[in-house]
Amino acid sequence: MPYFTLVIPTFNRGHQLERALRACLAQDFTDWEAVAVDDASSDPSAVDAADVVRRIGDPRVRLVRHEQNQGVCVARNTGVRAARGNWLIFHDDDDELVPGALRLIHDAIEGGASGIHRHAFEYRFDDGRISPEPPLADGAVWEYRQYLEWLERVSPQSDFLNVIHRDVFDSVLWPTDRSREELFHLALARQFRTQCHAAVASTIHIDAVNRFSAVPGRDRLLQMAPHLAAQWMRLLDEHGSALEAWAPRTYARFVRSTAINSYMAGKRGQGLRYAARLLRGRPFAPNAWGVLLLGLFGPRAVGAVVAREKLRRARG
């Protein structure tokens, strides 16, 4: 049983995968394995993940393939099932461990607080920005309330490197569809403690053309909407009262997203109910009235409005 398993989903990005794996090979801490999960790559012009693993030729690196594309969270669950390590590092294929990262993480775990099931480390983008923003408070321990209060303070686009004990996955899994990962993090925070480390462990590269965080167009938003509406409804059912108490702006953001994704999924009545819920909590907020008015339009029109807004925000 290695100390670490790096779980690395990949899709049509063999070049990025090779860079990520070679950064693992360069680490001075050697008690690790890597499980790359190819989520049914289909681009014949992309570097093949199997070729990458063969070229590397290290028995610590294994490849698992999906027969059908299922999304990044399902690929992470596949990696969890294949993992043998005690601690799992969730590492995207466009991430690159900094020199000495595994030694840093190991020492932080061994010297950390007791009863911790997740350790959070900072990222550095290749343009120099640090994530999350604001940075993590070194040594801080989050239980459920502290995690929700952190969500209230942090930029919604922020992320951190997740290092999670394998015991967590006896009771909490990543989403089993194309939904995003927020429900996983909330469920983990409700059951397990997290310790924060104000240290950069990995670099995020932004050179891939098909990055998951790229701004989606209208058609992609419409495709994602049914999954997201269902996920946000479940999230609000399970965590809404706690969010409303300890992270009210975050709570309003999820209610707003539920309404808008319901509209885009063609469920206008459902969307209007969540828009009314948002309005009850924020009766004087112009954007709450705007969400209600969006219900007058059809899914494609709503999708076009949302796509333009996301693009505007991405351009600053």
Q: Where do the domains of the chain lie? A: 4-204, 218-314
Tokens of 269: 């009545």
To the nearest whole number, what is the mean pLDDT of the chain?
93
Read off the pLDDT band of 217 (50, 70, 90): confident
> Do 263 and 297 contact (CB within 8 A), yes or no?
yes
Instruction: Label residue 135 left, alpha or beta by phi (over 0 means left) and psi (-120 to 50 means alpha).
Output: beta
pLDDT at 285: 87
Question: Which residues, 6+ apart, have CB-to-CB distance to 116 below 8 Å?
Answer: 109, 141, 165, 193, 194, 195
Q: How confident is the model at residue 86 (pLDDT cuts 50, 70, 90)?
A: very high
The CATH number given to 4-204 is 3.90.550.10
Residue 214 has pLDDT above 60, yes or no: no
pLDDT per residue over 59-75, tens digit each? 999 999 999 999 999 99
Evaluate if residue 50 carries a pLDDT over 80: yes
| pLDDT given for residue 213 in this prediction | 46
